[in-house]
Structure 1
Amino acid sequence: MDSLRHELARFIQSPAARHDPPRLYRRLLTEAPVLDLGRVTVVSGYDEIVTVLMHPGTVVDPAAVGIARPGTSRLAEVVARMLPLRDGADHSRLKRLATAAFSARRLDAIRGRITDTAERLLEPLLAAGSFDMVADFAVPLPVAVSCAILDIPEHDRHRVTGWAALVARSLLDPHAGPEETAAFDAEFEEFRDYVEELCARRAADPGDDLISKLTVARAAGKIDSDDLLAFVVMLLANGLETLTSGLAVAVWHSLTTPGALDLVRDRPETAEAVFDECQRLGSPVRASARALTGDVPVAGTVLPAGTVTLLLYAAANRDPRRFPDPDRFDPARAERRHLAFGHGPHHCLGAPLSLMAGGAVLRLLAAAGAERTVSTPLTEETAPWSEQFVFGGLRSLPILSPRRAVDPAPVAAPPPYGPGSGPGGRETVGAGAGAR
C-alpha cells in the first residue's frame, strides 16, 4: 500500500507523473477506493464519492475546518462568494436565483444563438486548413455562451474575454505576489464598473437574461452587489475552464475513437450522448476537495471530522462497479450518471448548457467531415495535457482540416476507380471525421 500512496502523491503533485492516468485509476479502484495520504484522504470509488458528497457533514468551504482560502486580492474575495463555494441554506438560496437562467425554456431560447456562434467561429478555422482547437475555438466559444446567458452585447465580447481570462488566471494562481495582486485588482475594478453599467441598463429595460434577474433580486434585498458580481464571475470563470476543457477533451476523444464522428454525422441526435461519454472518459474536472465538519462513514472506515478529503472524479468515472468495461467508448451506455459534472447539491448548474454546446460542436465537426479530412497529428504520447491537477484538459489541440481531393469529371470512359481513390471514387482516409 505504501507504493500506491507514493504513486498517488506523485500523481497529485507532479504533471510528469500523469502520463497514464487510467492505469493508476484501475489500481486505486482495485486496491484502495479510499486511501489515507496523511494530510488528506483520497476517495476514488464512485459509490464512495457519492457517499461523501451526500453526507450532511460535508462542505465546500475549507474555513469550516480552520483552513484559510488562498488569495488576498479583491477578486479572490468575490470568487469566494461564487455559488460553487457556498454551502447549506446560503447555497440553496442563491441557486434558486440562478436556476431560471438555466431552465429548459431559457436554454431553448438561446440554442440557436449558441449553434450560430459555434458555426461562425468554426467555419473560417476549418477553411484555413489548420488551427488550434483550444486557443482558436474552445476558449472563445464558452465566453460567447456565457455572454448569451447574460445577454452581453456582441461588441463587448472582446473585453469580456479578457476579463474572463483574468478570473481564470486568478483561480489557477491564488498565491500571486503583491504586484500581481494589485494588477488583478485594478483590472477587476474595470470589470466591476462594466457589470454595474449593465445592471443600470437592465434596471431601466429588464429582459429575460440572468443580469436582469439578478438586478431585480438585488433591488429586492435578496442579494448584495458582491453576490451579483460573483454570479457573473462564476459564469465566465467556470465556462472558460470547465467548458473549454470539456470541448477539447470531447474533440480529442471523437477524433481518436474510430467511428465516433461518423456516428454523429449519420445520427445527429446522438451528439449530446457522444459529448457526454467523452466527459466521462476525459473528466475535464479531475478532482474536487471537501471539508468534513462531522465524521463520515464510508467503505468500512470513518473519515474524521476536521479533515479534508480529495474526491477523484476521474477515477470514479472509470469505476467498473458502476460502468462495465469502463475504458470503452460507448455513448449508448445504460448507466450514464457519471461525476464529470459533480453530484448532489453542487451538481453543475450549467451541465445542460455544456451538453447543448458540446453537441452543437460535434455536429458541426461531423458535418465538416463530409468535405474535409478532420484530424489531429497528436498521439497519446505527444498530447500536451494541462499541467493543472484539477483541470485535466489539453493545453493545445492542433487540428488539420484539408479539403478532400475530388477527381475531375471524366471526358472518356473512366477506369473503375480514379487514381489514388478507394471504391466509388472516395479517397481512403484515416482516423477522424469522415473515416468510414
Structure 2
Amino acid sequence: MSAPASVPAATPTSDVDPFAAGHLAEPGPLHGQLRAAGPVVRLTRYDVHALARHQEVHTALVDWQTFQSGAGVGLANFRHEKPWRPPSLLLEADPPHHDAPRRVLSEILAPLALRRLRESWQAVAEELVESVLATQRTEFDAFEALATAFPLRVFPDAVGLGPDGRENLLPYGNMAFNAFGPRNDLVLADAHRTAGLSAWVNDQCAREALSEDGFGARIWAAADRGDLTPAQAPLVVRSLLTAGVDTTVHGLAAALYAFATHPEEWQRLRERPELARISFDEAVRWQSPVQTFFRTATTDVEIAGTRIPEGGKILMFLGAANRDPARWTDPDRFDLTRDPSGHVGFGMGLHQCVGQHVARLEAECLLTALARRVEHLELAGPPRRHLNNTLRSWASLPVRARRAN
C-alpha cells in the first residue's frame, strides 16, 4: 500500500499590527517572531501575506512579473483604490511604463556621471564637519547637524532646486512614506498639510523652477530628446525629491548611530577610510531605513507551500530579511569585516533604488570628513526615534565627539 500524500502545513496567521507604534519604534522582536513562524505568515488584520526571511523577500523583489509594483507598493491596492497622487514612475510602475524613466535616471545617476560631484561634495562635507566641531564643541545632535544638514545641502543643489523651501523636503518625504501604510494616526497627523506640501514639491519639478545644470534639467533634456514624454519629466523629478532625501538622511543617521555604539568599528574606519562605503551599506543592512514594501500578485502563486491569490498583497519586511540569521552571521551586530552585499535595504532587481550610488557618495564624503577629525565618537544621551509607517526614522541622535590631535 502506498504511503498517504503529505498534507502541506497550514500557513501561520497573526493578528499583529506591524504598524502599531511599539513595533515601529522597535521592530526587532516582531521580525524575529515572523521569521520563526514560517516563510509566509498571513496577517489577518490587513489580509496580507508577510515575508520576513531573506530568501523569500529576495525572491519576491526580483520577480516583478509575478509580484507587481504597479498596483502600489503600499497597503492600498491601485486596482480598486485611487492613489492620493499620481503614482511614481519608478516605484509604482512596471515594464513597459517603468522602462524609459528608469533608463533615463540610471544614466543621470550612474557612478561615472557622479564623479564630477565628488570633489565639491567632499569640500562641503569638510566645511560642515569643521563648522559643527568648532561651534558645537564636543556634544551635538548628529541627526540634525550632520545626517540632515549635509543631504539637504548637496542633494537639492545637485537636482537644481533653488535655496528657498528646502525645509519642506523632509516633511513631504515623511508624508509620502507614511502613505504606504494603513490610514492610521501617523497618516492623519499629516492630513492638514498634504495639499500644501504636494503643491510645493510639484512646483519644484517644473522646468522653469530648476537650474540649467542639475539632474532635473537633464531629465527635462531627456524629454526634449523624446526619451521621456513632457508629462513624465516632472514625475521623474518628483521621484528624486520623494525618495532621494529621507532615505539618505536616515541612512546617514544609522551609520552615525552605528559608529557611536561600536567604538572598535569607528577606529577601524579611521585606520581604513576606504571602508566608508562598505560601512554605509552595513549600516543600511543593520538598521534598514526602508523597513517595508508591498507587492501585488499578478496570478495565483505559491510561496513555500502557501497559495497567494491573484490580486493579493504581500508585505515584505526588508528590515527582517536584513537580519535573518539564515543569511547573515551574527546579524544583529554592526561589523565592518562583513560583506554586506546582498542586503535588501535598497530593494533588489528591476526596482532596486536607482539613487543608491548618490546615497553612497554622500555617505563616503561625510564619513571620511568626520573620521579625519574625530578620534572618538559616542552617544551623549538616548537617541529618539521618529515613527513612520515605512521608514526607520530618527528625531535626534545626541553624540559626544573628541577631536583628533
TM-score range, shorter chain: 0.7 to 0.9
Aligned to 2:300: 295
Taking the aligned partners of 2:363 and 2:356, their CA distance within structure 1 comes to 10
Which among 207, 223, 227 is matched to residue 196 of structure 1? 207
SS of the aligned residue for 1:24 comes to: helix
The alignment status of 1:117 with 2:130, answered yes or no, reads no
- Distance 1:169-1:104 versus aligned 2 partners, 3 A rule: closer
Aligned to 1:40: 48
Q: CA deviation at 1:360?
A: 2.3
- Distance 1:298-1:251 versus aligned 2 partners, 3 A rule: same
Aligned to 1:399: 399
- Please tell me whether the aligned partners of residues 378 and 401 of structure 2 are also in contact (alpha carbons under 8 angstroms): yes
Taking the aligned partners of 2:198 and 2:334, their CA distance within structure 1 comes to 44
Q: CA deviation at 1:302?
A: 2.2
What are the Cα deviations for residues 178-220 of structure 1, in whole angstroms up to 9, with x where unaligned?
Answer: 864443455346435xx32256x74xxxx5x433332222223
Taking the aligned partners of 1:351 and 1:253, their CA distance within structure 2 comes to 19
Q: CA deviation at 1:167?
A: 2.9
- Please tell me whether the aligned partners of residues 118 and 141 of structure 1 are also in contact (alpha carbons under 8 angstroms): yes
Q: CA deviation at 1:168?
A: 2.0
- Please tell me whether the aligned partners of residues 383 and 398 of structure 2 are also in contact (alpha carbons under 8 angstroms): no
- Distance 1:329-1:90 versus aligned 2 partners, 3 A rule: same
Aligned to 2:377: 374
- Please tell me whether the aligned partners of residues 146 and 235 of structure 1 are also in contact (alpha carbons under 8 angstroms): no
Aligned to 1:263: 268
Which among 91, 97, 107 is matched to residue 114 of structure 2? 107
Stretch of structure 1 that moved more, 350-359 or 311-320:
350-359
The alignment status of 1:131 with 2:132, answered yes or no, reads no
- Please tell me whether the aligned partners of residues 177 and 389 of structure 2 are also in contact (alpha carbons under 8 angstroms): no
SS of the aligned residue for 1:289 comes to: strand
Taking the aligned partners of 1:190 and 1:104, their CA distance within structure 2 comes to 28
What are the Cα deviations for residues 341-370 of structure 1, in whole angstroms up to 9, with x where unaligned?
Answer: 100101111112212221222222222223
SS of the aligned residue for 1:306 comes to: coil
Taking the aligned partners of 1:367 and 1:323, their CA distance within structure 2 comes to 30
The alignment status of 1:144 with 2:153, answered yes or no, reads yes
- Distance 1:335-1:300 versus aligned 2 partners, 3 A rule: farther
Taking the aligned partners of 1:102 and 1:14, their CA distance within structure 2 comes to 36
- Please tell me whether the aligned partners of residues 101 and 236 of structure 2 are also in contact (alpha carbons under 8 angstroms): no
Which among 50, 53, 76 is matched to residue 58 of structure 2? 50
Taking the aligned partners of 1:178 and 1:24, their CA distance within structure 2 comes to 28
Aligned to 1:85: 92
Aligned to 2:5: none
Stretch of structure 1 that moved more, 170-179 or 142-151:
170-179
- Distance 1:278-1:188 versus aligned 2 partners, 3 A rule: closer
- Please tell me whether the aligned partners of residues 99 and 349 of structure 1 are also in contact (alpha carbons under 8 angstroms): yes
Q: CA deviation at 1:20?
A: 4.4
How many percent identity over aligned positions?
A: 25
Q: CA deviation at 1:165?
A: 3.5
- Distance 1:89-1:361 versus aligned 2 partners, 3 A rule: same
How many residues in Structure 1 have an aligned counterpart in Structure 2? 379
- Distance 1:184-1:328 versus aligned 2 partners, 3 A rule: closer
- Please tell me whether the aligned partners of residues 35 and 52 of structure 2 are also in contact (alpha carbons under 8 angstroms): yes
Aligned to 1:304: 309
Aligned to 2:333: 328
Relative to the length of structure 1, the TM-score reads: 0.79
Higher strand share: 2
Taking the aligned partners of 1:21 and 1:166, their CA distance within structure 2 comes to 23
Taking the aligned partners of 2:58 and 2:130, their CA distance within structure 1 comes to 41
- Please tell me whether the aligned partners of residues 12 and 38 of structure 2 are also in contact (alpha carbons under 8 angstroms): no
Q: CA deviation at 1:339?
A: 0.4
- Please tell me whether the aligned partners of residues 65 and 293 of structure 1 are also in contact (alpha carbons under 8 angstroms): no
The equivalences for 1:65-80 within 5 A come to 66-71=79-84, 76-77=85-86, 80=87
Root mean square deviation, CA, Å: 2.8
Which among 184, 196, 202 is matched to residue 183 of structure 1? 196
Aligned to 2:361: 356
Letter in 2 for 1:357: E
Letter in 1 for 2:380: P
Taking the aligned partners of 1:17 and 1:189, their CA distance within structure 2 comes to 33
Taking the aligned partners of 1:82 and 1:218, their CA distance within structure 2 comes to 14
- Please tell me whether the aligned partners of residues 261 and 362 of structure 1 are also in contact (alpha carbons under 8 angstroms): no
Taking the aligned partners of 2:202 and 2:305, their CA distance within structure 1 comes to 50
Which among 9, 29, 32 is matched to residue 26 of structure 1? 32
Q: CA deviation at 1:91?
A: 0.8
Which among 344, 347, 355 is matched to residue 349 of structure 2? 344
* Gap regions ≥5 residues in structure 2: 1-9, 180-186
Q: CA deviation at 1:65?
A: 6.1
Q: CA deviation at 1:334?
A: 4.3
Larger Cα-atom Rg: 1
Taking the aligned partners of 1:212 and 1:21, their CA distance within structure 2 comes to 40
What are the Cα deviations for residues 195-254 of structure 1, in whole angstroms up to 9, with x where unaligned?
Answer: 32256x74xxxx5x4333322222234323442112222222212210011011110011
